[in-house]
Chains A and B, each alone.
Chain A
Amino acid sequence: MRVALFVPCFVNALYPEVGEASYKLLTSLGLDVDYPLEQTCCGQPMGNAGYEKDAEPLAERMEALFAEYDYVVGPSASCVSFVREAYPRLSHHKGEHKCLSSRIYEICEFLHDVVKPTALEARFPHKVSLHNSCHGVRLMGLSAPSEQNIPYYSKLHNLLSLVEGVEVVEPERRDECCGFGGLFSIEESAVSVSMGRDKVARHIATGAEFITGADSSCLMHMQGVIEREKLSIRTKHIVEILTAQE
């Protein structure tokens, strides 16, 4: 089984430690993991801004880069869900391999549903508040959306339960949007920040030291609010907790 690591553009530039932890996590479970070079962006920002067609060359590039892998795994629920939803419309690959959309996974989803580890060698003796990101929850099904009357489950929670010492809580309004939303964060910046402040406040109210989740973009936005307001809570991508050795 050949696994490729997909490191979204902003994770590459801002959070290499998230890419590193992803690699560690996958290889620690005995997987053969490669990182094809010259990755850029999946095209989600263009799509959400209303220029999905502009993502076509990016979709073609992604299809070519990842053509020969059985699984493509990335630490970002929203990027992965974009590839899944939009690439069947965007990429015109000739059928010599299965469309990337059917082989790409968000890393927690991949672990939870495909690799199914029963133990992880990780220790993180802290209280963390789970950030249930919109695309992770509502497009990808990482946990039960609060709108729907279906039994509660959370793949992130299940994985975190394999980490020694960690205490996991969820904020009030457990899956309300943090207000990032791609270009929404710029175009409607006042609303975006207002949502971000509310979300961070609810995470803080849990008494957690860290906000963690499967979307670096939400974490980036909330971290921006935290730093501006000099708040004490910090953000940490879930893969860093799943590989922590504290």
Chain B
Amino acid sequence: MSCHAVKAKAFLKNEERALWHDKALYAVREKRDRQAYSLPEWESLREQASQIKERVLGNLADYLEEFERNATRNGIKVHWAESGEEMNAIVAQIIKEKGAKHLVKSKSMLAEECHLAPYLEERGVEVVESDLGERIVQLMECAPSHIVLPAIHIKREEVGELFEEKLSTEKGNSDPTYLTHEARKHLRKKFLNADISMTGVNFAIASEGVFAVCTNEGNADMGTAFTDTHIAIMGLEKIVPDMESLAVFTRLLARSATGQPITTYTALYRQPEEGKEIHLIIVDNGRTKSLADAEHRTMLKCMRCGACMNTCPVYRRTGGYSYSYFIPGPLGINLGMLRSPEAYGGNVSGCSLCYSCSGVCPAKVDLAEQIYKWRQQMAPLGVADSKKKMIVKAMNLMMRNPRLMNAGVAVAPYIPRFVYNNGINPWCASGREMPHFAKKSFRVLWNEGKIKR
């Protein structure tokens, strides 16, 4: 069994929880649907987003340079990092130069990708996640299980217990409003105490040298307002050409992500205030390698909305931790393979090829088609499952020899059912009966002249 299959099975042992997880995320998908159906131009917006991203990826170097020129002119200090380590080192260096000790950050999947928080903590910097969901998983010392809803796998009672222990909230009170207020009070202190802030970047607008940060809690804005130094980190695919294209993406992003017309806060950073600094680090960390991979470069069109996770019937029923890559779902299966087939090949089985992800993606990333392609590459890459290979070999033998197949089909109905309809057969073991072989196959009936008009 693949590593995803093993963990998925374990997750499904707790049926009630799996059902709850599935419902919670499907509700997000339905919210997204309502938004998508309410815009007559929805499908054309998706097409525009896809084309804009294609154009950007086709001329990425030019757009990046244009962005750098304009951002620098605006007074933003632009840095380049080839790898995650390099990004972390640049961040640490800026923090050191500023003599800072308390970093307050908003959500960034790039920070997770590069393991930034542990890196800084090892160097004596306090890192506080200011997004509520992120703060919850940080206090729980676990990883986000979803890229937009990092704590979606945690029930509110569990948050109550966590806050009781870490924030000394009232015993047994898991009222969401109460807990949110308490978290807010706690975070307010952290904001006041912070001496440096960090955000991710949702979109970097090349023609303006401006970058956009989208949040629902205003926590990015709060952090950057309170501190004198703002470090922003972005993957180099985050470029959009101009403000018109930004409008396309902001219309799609929140609708796809959480079913809101737009994120509550969409902040555009153009230039630092007097006496303050904005540092922007543009990070490659494998992205140019993906760009060079003609089969899979389409993944770079992703705007990290998470819709493909919410719609994925496998993700919803197996949770984020069933995937070995830090990003789960259809997106994570693909990005994991781009990162390392050896390390993350065990996620590729976690897909029934229903293609719902491809239909939901606002940037028209063909996620399911990509997974299908990766499956074809598993054997050549040497990471295929050997059992599966054997099953396919057996099928090949049968199906390439009609006489063999026909003989098999003829004897099958005479084999006592218990021989194959039992707990050893994985088809049955997990809760399904085997189908029944017909006494006479269609072919036999045809040959006997029994198939009539």
* Contact surface of A with B, Cβ cutoff 8 Å: 7, 9-17, 19-20, 23-24, 27-28, 35, 37-41, 43, 45-54, 57-58, 61, 134-135, 138-139, 145-150, 173, 175-177, 179-198, 220-221, 223-225, 227-229
Contacts and interface: CB of A to CB of B under 8 A. Distances in A.
A41 B395 contact: yes
B442 A146 contact: no
Interface string B1-13: 1101100110010
Nearest to B45: A149
Given A12-B409, A13-B412, A223-B435, A179 B313 contact: yes
A186 B427 contact: yes
A51 B37 contact: no
Contacts of B42: 148-149
Contacts of B311: 147
A191 B8 contact: yes
A70 B433 CA distance: 39
A196 B314 CA distance: 12
A180 B443 CA distance: 25
A150 B43 contact: yes
B384 interface: yes
B4 A51 contact: no
Contact of B8 (A35, A57, A188): A188
A12 B432 contact: no
Given A177-B354, A195-B313, A28 B453 contact: yes
B314 A191 contact: yes
A58 to B, nearest CB: 6
Nearest to B368: A138
Given A45-B395, A189-B427, A14 B437 contact: yes
Interface in B290-324: 311, 313-314, 317-318
A35 B391 contact: no
B402 A38 contact: yes
A148 B391 CA distance: 36
Contacts of B427: 185-186, 189, 224
A58 B40 CA distance: 44
A138 B354 contact: yes
B55 interface: no
A191 B427 CA distance: 12
Given A40-B399, A50-B379, A189-B429, A134 B384 contact: no
B385 interface: yes
A138 B356 contact: yes
Nearest to A51: B392
25 contacts: A9-B405, A16-B440, A16-B441, A19-B446, A20-B442, A38-B402, A40-B402, A40-B405, A46-B395, A50-B376, A138-B356, A138-B358, A139-B355, A147-B356, A148-B42, A148-B43, A148-B359, A181-B351, A184-B349, A184-B351, A187-B2, A188-B349, A191-B317, A191-B318, A228-B432
A27 B452 CA distance: 9
A225 B431 contact: yes
A183 B18 CA distance: 23
Query: DSSP majority for the A interface?
Result: helix
B415 interface: no
A50 B353 contact: no
A48 B376 CA distance: 8
A224 to B, nearest CB: 4
Nearest to A133: B354
Given A40-B399, A134-B355, A194 B37 contact: no
Given A12-B442, A14-B437, A35-B451, 7 more contacts: A16-B438, A61-B400, A149-B40, A187-B2, A188-B4, A223-B433, A224-B435
B39 interface: yes
Most buried by B among A10, A138, A150: A138
Q: How would you classify the secondary structure of chain B's contact residues: helix, strand, loop or mixed? A: helix
A54 B443 contact: no
Contacts, number: 222
A220 B352 CA distance: 16
Nearest to A137: B355
A182 B349 CA distance: 11
B119 interface: no
A227 B440 CA distance: 22
Listed residue (A28, A52, A173, A188) with the most chain B CB atoms within 10 angstroms of its CB: A188
Contacts of B420: none
A134 B37 CA distance: 20
A147 B437 contact: no
Contacts of A19: 442, 445-446, 451
A101 to B, nearest CB: 16
B426 interface: yes
B352 A192 contact: yes
Interface in B404-453: 405, 409, 412, 426-438, 440-447, 451-453
Contacts of A197: 431
B22 interface: yes
A16 to B, nearest CB: 4
A224 B432 contact: yes
B434 A193 contact: no
B33 interface: yes
Contacts of A224: 427-428, 432-435
B363 interface: no
A197 B18 CA distance: 13
Interface in B100-152: none
A17 B385 CA distance: 36
Contacts of A14: 435-438
Contact of A13 (B1, B9, B396, B409): B409
B355 A138 contact: yes
B359 A190 contact: no
A153 to B, nearest CB: 15
Question: What are the 7 tightest A-B residue pairs by CB atom distance, in nearest-first order?
Answer: A181-B352, A50-B375, A147-B359, A224-B432, A177-B354, A19-B442, A134-B354
Nearest to B4: A188
